[in-house]
Structure 1
Amino acid sequence: MATSRRGFIKSTATAASGLVIACYLPGCSKPEQAASNAGPPKLVKANAFLQIGTDGSITMFCDKSEMGQGVYTALPTLLAEELGVAPDVIKVEFAPPGNEYVNKMLGAQATGGSTSVREAWDKIRMAGAEARTRLIAAAADEWNAPPQSCTVADGYVLFTSRRKSFGELAEAAAALPPPQNVQLKGKNEFKYVGKTATRMDTPSKVDGSARFGIDVRLPNMLYAALAQPPELGASVRSFNADKAKTMPGVREVLQTSSGVAVVADSWWQAKQARDALEIQWNAGPAAKLSNASIYAGLKNAASGKGLEVRKQGDADAGWKANGRRVEATYELPMLAHATLEPQNCTVEFRDGACHLYVPTQVQQMAQAAAAKAAGLPPEQVLVHTTFLGGGFGRRLEVDFVPAAVECAKALDKPVKLLWTREDDTTHDKYRPPARNTLSGAFDSSGKLDTVKIHMVAPSITSRWAPGAVPQGTPDPFSVEAAHNFPYDVPNLYIDYLQHEVGLEVGYWRSVSHAINCFTIESFMDELAAEAQLDPVEFRRSLLGKEPRWLAVLDVAARKANWGSPPSGRHQGVALMSGYDTYLAQVAEISLEGNKLKVHRIVCAIDCGQMVNPGIVQAQAEGGIVFGLTAALFSEINVANGKVQEQNFDTYRLLRLNETPTIEVHLLNTDEKPGGMGEPTVALVAPAVCNAIYAATRKRLRRLPIVKHGFVV
């Protein structure tokens, strides 16, 4: 039937009702109505992940931030699988702050810890299955047909020759009571899950339409640049803004809770005027802090006894009884996140609310920080999450939000606050420094009898989520990749001693997996050398009770042709389980004098069931590049309270010509999904350092590698 464009618009505007479905979470905030492009639909009174319009449109409210890890594709795929539609017909919007979007694995509305797919695997599929069940029930009622004989396909419910679109059924489905005994599909029924498919965010990122925080443009928007203390923890004593106020485009200079901001018509004008400010700073508690004092403090603290993490047998007795011993201490540096998109936040006050446009991993925390700065209740702060130009844990912090709110409130105009690269590098929440001491003893038959692991480091979680670290218990994020030590020894003791170093530390991609995997897997190589055994065979001999660990080790060794590298090359191996994923890596390097070349990294991964193997592979490759950058070059140095590294000239990234060939081999298993955003990062440093030992017989017990005289 022909219709005019005007008639079509009028008809869709008047028929704008629909269905919103999700898993009901008792105790969460009351359901709210979501916005639809077609107008205000009628919504089911439940916490919404899914919206279906009467026009057949399908919208998913994605409760995870997209920072390159692929949730913009993976989570809609889970929903689509159960709903019976192709993933690419689903429109994705980022969910607002809300208790219904709390990440159950983290206890907060947060994207991190490689939890996105693991936490969503049942929850999002259930949301799709619940909607499917309602839609089928609505059609079956209309047709007087048995629901079990109805099916769904491509946005329709089907029964014999009859069919009705989801849009036609949306209102009736919304009126039905919550379904009971909703059934999820089995793996053998999957049409989309487990298949490699093009990422849904790729087209917008290619054509430039994807909106990152730095891309936000609002009418009449101004720009702010923030002068922050050069010393960590310092504060403003006084400032002279006379010169800055006379500079072109400058609208205002104001003191904020974190420094002095200049607001201008363009960001460059704001930055130039900021640099002209004359500011006197009060010294803070970190004024005399230096790397020397930080590592001296860790060393002194290491003589103390930590909180018990794991114990089997009697490690003290085993150590005393066996004379063939190995002991080593490893030190790990502080690291910056170095996201390619510096921290930024855009704020607008309108219609009685504070609108926050922000690349964040923590919507509710960002909302709370903005509300406090604005003097508003949290419900009057609306958070619009953008794509993140890198997260790596940095955007689990909200320290860049309040100043933007304060500027926008003072000028009563939209304001975008943007940090410089130097701001970002010198005012990060750095990965903790650490000092780990490991001991091993062999019995008279040459078998490994005793291992002790003593970890000393600051605690991130004690600051970020103190309720997650009860008094007298170790920070669970500080003992990752150590508490699950897989090697079979009669006597094992692991403890963790929390020692704060005078500055705030933050979660960094793979957090303590990278710290503890480096120390343990380097030490396992030291023990293999003492036992005069091949490093792979030594590990195999201790993994008889750990089939998943053993499987990835065997695949990596076989694919890397372990023991027979090309002439002039040397190999190192590392093994780890983290985020419910099991991995092994083999690094292949060469040395000409002090010139180090990493030629190849082979990685075997068992991450259980996969939503999109192509994304898994990409995450593995990206993590390896990220980990190699850190292993080779990265270190934050502090002198007299000032961070010395400023930009990518002094905190440099791996270059294209320095990137090795990366081979990723995925094991196909039926295990529950594991996380993939972070784990490959952790194995790179020990694998490369173990390869360097194979080439030089020199142990590297402190990173980065270039600090040992190597040139890349």
Structure 2
Amino acid sequence: MDELVRKEQIVDQTAVSRRGFLQGTGLVLGFALTGVSAEPVFAASASQIAENEVTGTFAPNGFIRINPTGAVTLVMPMVEMGQGVYTSLSMLLAEELEVKLDQIQVQHAPPNHALYVNSIIGIQNTGGSASVRAFWTPLRQAGAVGRNLLIAAAAQRWNVDPATCRAMDGVVFDALGSKHLSYGELAMAAAKLPVPPAATVKLKEPKDFTLIGTRAKRVDSPIKIDGRALYGIDTWLPGMKVAAVAISPVVGGKAKTMDEKAALAVKGVRQVVNIDEAVAVVADHMGAANKGLEATAITWDDGPNTKVSNANIVKQLEEDSKNPGVVARSDGDAAKALAEAAQRIDAVYQVPFLAHAAMEPMNCTVHLQKERCDIWVGTQAPTITQSQVADLTGLPKDAIKIHNHLIGGGFGRRLEPDGTLLAVKIARHVDGPVKVIWSREEDIQHDMYRPYYLDRLSAGLDAHGKPVAWTHRIAGSSVMARYYPAYVKDGLDPDAVEAAAKPPYELPNIHVDYVQVEPAGVRTSWWRGVGPTHNVFVVESFIDELAHAANQDPVAYRKGLLAQNPRALAVLSLAAEKAGWGSPLPERHGRGIAVQFAYGSYTSQVAEVEVASDGSVNVKRVICAIDCGMYVNPDTIEAQIQGGTVFGLTAALHGSITFKDGRVEQSNFDSYLPMRIDEVPVVETHLIKNAEPPGGVGEAPTAIVSAAVINAIFAATGKRVRTLPIDRDSLKSSS
């Protein structure tokens, strides 16, 4: 993992010749994708084969480099932000390439949509719980192509049939095992062979896996434990300056007055940069930059959004949600069935704006020169970042060099290039490289937030309590319309309705629609699975309301609606069994259950909570059953379930970004609370293994846990929570 660790020096890559680059790092040969779901086509041109022959580097596709020393490098298409993807994707390659996991080095992929597209999303990015799903086939194909070519090279040298040879741990053996050649010894010969089409190479059957499905140690753990890991914020370049930044507290505002002379009087401060929406103080080090920024004493012209408030935003959502929206699904005649139902239940649910609040605050280092721009940053979306910087600077895209890093928490925040664009604007005024670092306050108060949603639901039950009608209207901002406009058809944002338009249950006469509402003065974006994080809470809480109205046990009620969905039924049953569903609990204790299908996986959680007489909620235990199809590393899945559950619990118990006078009222972890260690429950994970294609994991527990907790609160107190975060005062005991 050479490129991911601390180095004493930064090499000027512009001084390296093409031949020298190939000799030092290996040649990346590409494949092209003609569509989002297209299979990669592995091909090497005659000139590329000739280059390989000269260097001895074996690079049959965009993912693999093997040099004559035997070093195996995976050019990693996804970025690591704590989710363990460098381990799981390395396992996919290692399985088919027939090398040990510890034989693989990882190198960040450069921006290259054609080579490293996330086929689930359609661009090169890390998100949507899609890393394993997107590269399950391409990386195994890449490994299989490489293995076959290396075996063919050995067979050619021994003058035997390749079918009689086998590979293991980076070595090719003949039929008797008496002859063997390492991959390094074969690299030059293999590089001369024509690369076969990936579709013609046979992949292993699951029964033959030796690595996939096993518990593998994280490949990035050692460098994180001993401090060698290099994050964007750790970048250090010769002659680099450091900038502290203050951004207008109101969207659309700009600096009105500042004391530049006072800032320049601070020792170490070099300059003050005003780019209207922000002011940066550039200094020799961070301490001087922060002192200079404080001395600047900026006053702001707030612009047109100074009256933005939560009260106004909610009022707008309430009014707009009364109007019909774009239809996401309409089966049967929900209005007629609702009118004729034996019992009707109505509810309004609300979820707040949420910040990402990653441990590594926003930062970016930029060296802008006349003919190129080098950027050191941790980004989930390198190609989008590259394109927008090109638009901003007027430079061609290939002159924008993205040096990607490990990310200290992404959660969707690093899908956005705004921090990089701000740093480039500042770098325009700085001679040499400059690292721009946001304070925690700037990070929280200038985030791009998970939208505020307001949902209206109605259901009709027959005489036996079974739903015969279901209507669900979702009102809120459309992240997709801004970020992926091509995915929005006729005004319907597919993310905004995910897990609502297609709940796992059998619901006749269902109508789901979406009303796009864009509050002024608020920037919204992806937040660890945007749509399902609110839709699952709403749907699963409302299903619980129906079970109560029908006077039925919540698990039994759900089972009655899942007869046609065996995978959902299986996770529900497993979670209930492992939680001891139905066993007695003390007073003001309760269990709540939820089930979902999202990100390609089926998940069910049971939360066990205690609600104290003062209304405080103690989540004591969370049991999760997940069917994510063919899984790669159970250890990583368990870690993701634990981390995602805590992330979702933080939002349910504490998370809320509010606006007053156009400003975000929260500023640090004292007012935007993360879960404290004494609040964290025991989280148990139970996997269902099958032969289905892999599903996503990272966002699944975040989306489901709030519903499980809310339903448990109802079981403990008889009080229904329909607005997040949980209002402690509403749960106080009346006795």
TM-score range (shorter-chain normalised) is over 0.9
Q: Are residues 117 and 15 of structure 1, via their aligned partners in 2, closer, same or farther at CA, if it must alter by over 3 Å? A: closer
1:578 aligns with 2:598: yes
Q: 2:636 aligns with which of 615, 631, 634?
A: 615
- Matched position secondary structure for 2:79: coil
Separation in structure 1 between the aligned mates of residue 232 and residue 269 of structure 2, nearest angstrom: 23
**Residue 94 of structure 1: aligned partner:** 108
Partner residue in 2 for 1:642: 663
- The Cα shift of 1:477 comes to 0.9
User: Is 1:118 aligned to residue 137 of structure 2?
Assistant: no
Aligned to 2:8: none
Three-state SS of the structure 2 residue aligned to 1:584 is strand
Letter in 1 for 2:326: L
Correspondence list, 1:120-269, <5 A: 120-160=135-175, 161-180=178-197, 181-256=200-275, 258-269=277-288
For 1:413 and 1:576, locate their aligned partners in 2 and report how far apart those are by CA, in whole Å. 51
Q: Please, which runs of 5 or more residues in structure 2 have no aligned partner?
A: 1-19, 36-41
Match of 1:522 among 526, 531, 541: 541
TM superposition shift of 1:57: 0.7
Q: Does 1:499 align with 2:517?
A: yes
The answer to whether residue 469 in structure 2 is matched with residue 450 in structure 1 is yes
Contact 2:29-2:44 within 8 A present in 1 as well? no
Distance 1:395 1:643, change over 3 A: same
Aligned to 2:39: none
What is the aligned counterpart of 2:302 among 283, 288, 306?
A: 283
Does 1:431 find its partner at 2:431? no
| TM-superposed deviation, 1:19 | 6.7
Letter in 1 for 2:288: Q
> Which secondary structure state, in structure 2, belongs to the residue aligned with residue 66 of structure 1?
coil
- The separation in 2 between residues aligned to 1:131 and 1:395, in whole angstroms, is 33
In 1, are the aligned partners of 2:571 and 2:604 still within 8 Å (CA)?
A: yes
Cα drift, residue 257 of structure 1 = 6.1
Counterpart-to-counterpart distance in 2, 1:19 and 1:262: 41
* 2:554 pairs with 1:535: yes
Distance 1:350 1:30, change over 3 A: farther
**Could you list the per-position Cα deviations for residues 299-320 of structure 1 after superposition, in whole angstroms to 9, with x for gaps in the alignment?**
0001111111112221111011
User: 2:403: which partner in 1?
Assistant: 384
CA contact (8 A) 2:57 2:187 kept: no
Q: 1: distance between equivalents of 2:337 and 2:322?
A: 20
Q: Is the 8 A contact 1:587 1:684 kept in 2?
A: yes
C-alpha displacement at 1:385, in angstroms?
A: 0.8
Q: 1:591 to 1:18 in 2, by over 3 A?
A: closer
- Rounded Cα–Cα distance in structure 2 between residues aligned with 1:273 and 1:13: 42
Bigger mean CA offset, 648-657 vs 170-179: 170-179
Deviation at 1:473, TM superposition (A): 4.0
The Cα shift of 1:33 comes to 11
What runs of 5+ residues in structure 1 fail to find an aligned partner? 1-11
For residues 3-58 of structure 1, what are the alpha-carbon distances to aligned partners after superposition, in whole Å with 9 as ceiling and x for unaligned?
xxxxxxxxx99987967566554699999999xxx999466787521100011111
Q: Aligned Cα RMSD in Å?
A: 2.5
User: Could you tell me which residue of structure 1 aligns to residue 3 of structure 2?
Assistant: none
Counterpart in 2 of 1:416? 435
Stretch of structure 1 that moved more, 330-339 or 16-25: 16-25
Alignment-derived partner of residue 8 in structure 1? none
Relative to structure 1, is the Cα distance of residues 16 and 218 closer, same or farther in structure 2, using a 3 angstrom cutoff?
closer
Matched AA of 1:123: P
Equivalent residues of 2:56, 2:67 under 8 A apart: no
Summarize the Cα distance change of 1:460–1:605 in structure 2 as closer, same or farther, 3 Å threshold: same
Shift in Å, 1:159:
1.2
Q: Is the 8 A contact 1:17 1:42 kept in 2?
A: no
Question: In structure 2, what is the Cα distance between the partners aligned to 1:319 and 1:405?
Answer: 56
C-alpha distance in 2 between matches for 1:32 and 1:366: 33
Report the CA distance between 1:240 and its aligned residue.
Answer: 3.7
Indicate the residue corresponding to 1:354 in structure 2: 373
Residue of structure 2 equivalent to 1:4: none
State the Cα deviation string for residues 650-687 of structure 1 (Å, max 9, x = none): 00110111111111111111111011111101111111
CA distance in 2, matches of 1:340, 1:33: 46
Contact 2:77–2:108 under 8 Å retained in 1: yes
Q: Which amino acid aligns with 1:500?
A: E
Provide the C-alpha distance between the structure 2 equivalents of 1:14 and 1:685, rounded to a whole number of angstroms. 51
Structure 1 residue 286, shift from structure 2 partner: 2.1
Counterpart position of 1:480: 498
Cα distance, 1:327–1:31 mapped onto 2, change above 3 Å:
farther
1:549–1:575: 8 Å Cα contact kept in structure 2?
yes
Alpha carbons 2:57, 2:68 under 8 Å: kept: no
Separation in structure 2 between the aligned mates of residue 711 and residue 258 of structure 1, nearest angstrom? 44
Residues 1:445 and 1:280: Cα distance change in structure 2 (over 3 Å): closer
Give distance in 1, aligned partners of 2:619 and 2:311: 31
Structure-1-length-normalised TM-score:
0.94
Which digits, 9 at most, give the CA deviation of each residue in 1:324-357, with x for residues without a partner?
1101010110000011110000123579532211
1:19 touches 1:173 (CA, 8 Å); kept in 2?
Answer: no
Do the aligned residues in 2 keep the contact of 1:23 with 1:127 (CA within 8 Å)? no
CA displacement 1:55-88 (0-9 Å, x = unmatched)? 1111111010100111111111100100000011
The AA in structure 2 aligned to 1:622 is: G
| Cα deviation, residue 710, structure 1 | 5.3
In 1, distance between residues paired with 2:497 and 2:141? 33
**Could you tell me which residue of structure 1 aligns to residue 80 of structure 2?**
66
Instruction: Give the structure-2-normalised TM-score.
Output: 0.91
Please say if residues 89 and 139 of structure 2, whose CA atoms lie closer than 8 Å, have aligned partners that are also in contact: yes
Distance in structure 2 (CA, Å) of the matches to 1:522 and 1:325: 16
Assess, with a 3 A threshold, how the Cα gap between structure 1 residues 144 and 567 changes in structure 2: closer, same or farther. same
Distance 2:126 2:45 in 1: 22
> Contact conserved, 1:212 with 1:359, CA < 8 A, in 2?
yes
Which deviations, in whole Å up to 9, do the C-alpha atoms of 1:393-420 show, x marking residues without a partner?
A: 0001111112322333433222111000
Q: Percent identity?
A: 43
> 1:52 maps to which residue?
66
Q: Please say if 1:674 is aligned against 2:698.
A: no
Deviation at 1:368, TM superposition (A): 2.5
What amino acid does structure 1 have at the position aligned with 2:661? N
Q: Which piece of structure 1 moves more, 256-265 or 289-298? A: 256-265
Deviation at 1:707, TM superposition (A): 5.2
Residue 542 of structure 2 aligns to a residue in which SS? Answer: helix
Contact 1:474/1:496, CA 8 A, preserved across alignment? yes
Q: Deviations over 1:189-227 (max 9, x none)?
A: 111110001100000000000011111122222100112
CA separation of 1:304/1:184 partners in 2, compared to 1, >3 Å: closer, same or farther?
same
In 2, distance between residues paired with 1:126 and 1:427? 42
Distance (Å, rounded) in 1 between the aligned partners of 2:45 and 2:110: 12
Aligned to 2:684: 663
Q: Give CA deviations for 1:489-545 in whole Å, capped at 9, x if unaligned.
A: 321111111111122210001211110111111101110011000011000011100
Q: Which residue of structure 2 lines up, in the alignment, with residue 9 of structure 1?
A: none
Show the counterpart of 2:626: 605
Q: Distance in 2 between matches of 1:279 and 1:381?
A: 33
Distance 1:101 1:432, change over 3 A: same
Distance 1:120 1:13 in 2: 27
